[in-house]
Amino acid sequence: MATAIAINTVEAKLREASDKNAARRLRTTGMIPAVLYGAKKDPRAIAVDPKQILKILHSASGHNTIFDVTVEGEQSKAMLVDWQYEPLKGALLHVDLKRIAMDQKMRLSVPVHIQGEAKGTKLEGGLLDLVLREVHIECLPSDIPSHITVDVTELGQGEAIRIADLPQNASVKYLDEPDATIVHITYVKEEVAAPVEGVVAAAEPEVIKKGKTEVAAVPEAKETKKK
């Protein structure tokens, strides 16, 4: 499990809490509004460079990345907890940053990465079904993995990998139920209409044609001549 360590530094500037018009004016300067809170300190309204935030979001560890944020010479460890995009152009509009206490455990979710090609799909014709795309964990900030790797190479049809099957790590505690299925191989069923015993197929309904009813012709009786 690769750890989501601090790989970036975000340089922030203080700003006054403002309305939407002020936020628009700020964005025209190339900065976006943000809020920094947590670690039992007062929240601060700040402005950040969206390019630095996007670099974090697009990194291997994504929003679970721990980074340094500097505000007027004061530096803190932080994580991204919320962000908003402009719906049409996809530009960042606003972000929330949370200060992180490196000596306190935290709960979060990390993505599942599948490794290998399951024999149940390669050799047996089954289908791989990823049930849990994220798992919930508890650990210190320095031990946060960027993802959980699940090797499915030996997974056959009808078999599954569950939370209890994951490699145990003293630094990471899994919070999902131990029997929760992460991934399994399902059977490919062929739909064949088999006859059911004791059931007689219903006769097709008789089609009644419009018009005159046809009557079978009766041969006329021959007239007997009297002698």
Same domain membership, residue 86 and residue 31: yes
pLDDT of residue 144: 93
The CATH number that applies at residue 144 is 2.170.120.20
Q: Is the pLDDT assigned to residue 149 strictly greater than 60?
A: yes
* 3 domain-assigned: no
* 1 domain-assigned: no
Angstrom distances, CA of residue 2 to CA of 5, 182, 200: 9, 19, 63
Same domain membership, residue 173 and residue 147: yes
Mean confidence (pLDDT) of the chain: 84
pLDDT of residue 4: 53
Give the residue-averaged pLDDT of 178-195. 79
Same domain membership, residue 81 and residue 142: no
The CATH number that applies at residue 21 is 2.40.240.10
* 198 domain-assigned: no
Q: How far apart are CA 33 and CA 205, in angstroms?
A: 72
Q: Which of 141, 137, 117, 139 is nearest to 128 (CA)?
A: 117
Taking the whole predicted model, whether its pTM rises above 0.85 is answered as: no
pLDDT of residue 77: 94
Q: Is the pLDDT assigned to residue 143 strictly greater than 90?
A: yes
User: What tens digit of pLDDT does each residue of 88-98 get?
Assistant: 888 999 999 99
Q: How far apart are CA 147 and CA 2, in angstroms?
A: 7
Q: Which domain holds residue 182?
A: 106-186
Give the residue-averaged pLDDT of 125-146. 94
Domain end, chosen from 64, 99, 134, is at: 99
Q: How many domains, the chain?
A: 2
CA angle, 164 then 64 then 103, to 5°: 85
pLDDT of residue 188: 76
pLDDT of residue 93: 94
Same domain membership, residue 17 and residue 94: yes
* 221 domain-assigned: no
Give the amino acid at 212. K
Give the residue-averaged pLDDT of 64-82. 93
Domain end, chosen from 99, 118, 147, is at: 99
Q: How far apart are CA 94 and CA 35, in angstroms?
A: 8
